[in-house]
A and B are shown apart, each in its own frame.
Chain A
Amino acid sequence: MKDFIQRGLEEIKKEKIKPIASWKFQVRDFFWWIAFSFSILAGGISISISIFLITELDWGMYQHLGHSFLETFLIMFPHFWFVFLSIFLFISYQNLRHTKKGYHYELILVTVVIVFVSIILSLLFSFTKIDQKLNQIFINKIPGYERIIHTKEHQWSQPEEGLFSGRIIKKEIKNNTTTLILENAKSGVWEIFVKKETLIRGRVKLVEGEQIKIIGKQRNNQNEFEAKEIRPWERRGNHKIKF
């Protein structure tokens, strides 16, 4: 009886089996490295957008409204991007494991390196404001994206909670009361009542076209809002990106 080597060699000859060309294996390895690089890039994007969303929000506001730190954290934490980051961390580790010697590296070391590289990339994205651009592109192009992230616009579009914002389209002064006609991106046109005792923060000019944030109270469940404090939309050092 023939042993498996003889039988195997006979089949190789009969079927004219040849070794697969080396370039095919090189292309495969190259693919894994490319996939790994893309996963790290996606990790960098998710970290930078998370940081952008977190730093855009006014963290003091929810505590001001009586929420605990934990509640505040759960409301404002960018869950979507955290899940996205975790998925891409996992994918990048798997991609690395498929490279020639990638499996030699320990999971913890790989995770630390991937997170570190992603953070460096995220700083680069943040510095070049690519994070803001991408976030805006996602808002415009991906249906439902805006609903799953908690943006500054969300935070300041809650008149029932006393937080509101918008762009001034008209300013009227009657009987010592200033009324601002404000356009909010989510709920349309509103009347904002500014009294003498309303605190107006430094850089706010209350001019047409200016975007502002308002702390106050909604009146009669109508599109009317009483301002206690008015703040500039952009925090000091933040400059709006134009798209």
Chain B
Amino acid sequence: MELGSDFSDKTDIELIELAKQDSEYFGVVMNRYKEKLFWYIKRISYFSNEDIEDILQEVLISAYRSLNEFDASFKFSSWIYRVTHNKVVDEIRKRKRRKEGSFDELKENDIKMFLSSSIDLEQKVLSDDCYKKARKVIESMPLKYREAIILRFLEEKSYEEIMDILRKSKGSVATLIARGKKILKRELTQIRIDCL
């Protein structure tokens, strides 16, 4: 079986069932999500591309091991995001302990999308200096708030999906998003980003 083969007629759940017998089918499902997961990790961790590839490989193996844990009453995408979230959080903890790692910067478009969650940007074109300042503020936000905003506004996940990814109640998800937006707005006002 080739990864490139066309399995567009098969749903994620059907492929998962087949993957329990042949791991190649799991590759087909992961192929559907590889880009999304790549950008999700990038947005929440700023790890380098090479590091993200390594994490994704671990995600694939770990998810394959836990394939029987997946419950078809949930969306597969939420489950695989959850596995990815756990791996990234573990990796961030490890790196914090070792104080090492290479990091990339958040992309300009992501910064703009992030800011749009809290501030009315309309069609404004932001200056380089403005991007720099905003990037600093976003990157310094606690992960739990930043991740909730990323999932909602950059990954465009529904509240139900975010609940399943973060394993939190709807109220907690709403609080994380609201507090995250508040922190962002406050920090931006404090450093007087007049370019907004």
Contacts and interface: CB of A to CB of B under 8 A. Distances in A.
A17 B167 contact: no
A3 interface: yes
A21 interface: yes
Nearest to B166: A103
Nearest to A109: B169
Interface string B82-114: 000000000000000000000000000000000
Classify the interface of chain B: helix, strand, loop or mixed: helix
Contacts of A4: 34, 53-54, 56-57, 60
A25 B79 CA distance: 15
Nearest to A12: B23
B68 A11 contact: no
Given A11-B57, A100-B71, A106-B170, A5 B34 contact: yes
Given A5-B27, A19-B66, A25-B68, A12 B61 contact: yes
Contacts of B69: 20, 25
Interface size class of B (residues with CB under 8 A): 20 to 34
A13 B65 contact: no
Interface in A1-40: 3-9, 11-13, 17-22, 24-25
A9 B1 CA distance: 12
Contacts of B71: 100
Contacts of A20: 65-69
A103 to B, nearest CB: 4
A104 B163 contact: yes
B67 A106 contact: no
A5 B61 contact: no
A85 B27 CA distance: 48
A25 B168 CA distance: 20
**Counting chain B CB atoms within 10 Å of each CB, which of A3, A8, A97, A106 scores highest?**
A8
B102 to A, nearest CB: 17
Classify the interface of chain A: helix, strand, loop or mixed: helix
A100 to B, nearest CB: 6
B30 to A, nearest CB: 5
Interface in B120-171: 163, 167-171
Contacts of A12: 23, 61, 64
A5 B169 contact: no
Given A3-B34, A5-B27, A12-B64, A105 B53 contact: no
A107 interface: yes
Contact of A5 (B20, B30, B170): B30
B57 A8 contact: yes
B20 A19 contact: yes
Interface string A97-113: 10010011111000000
Given A3-B53, A5-B34, A19-B20, A107 B169 contact: yes
A169 to B, nearest CB: 61
A24 B65 CA distance: 12
18 contacts: A3-B34, A3-B53, A4-B54, A5-B27, A5-B30, A5-B34, A6-B3, A7-B57, A8-B30, A9-B23, A11-B61, A19-B20, A19-B68, A97-B167, A103-B168, A104-B169, A106-B170, A107-B171
Interface of A: 3-9, 11-13, 17-22, 24-25, 97, 100, 103-107
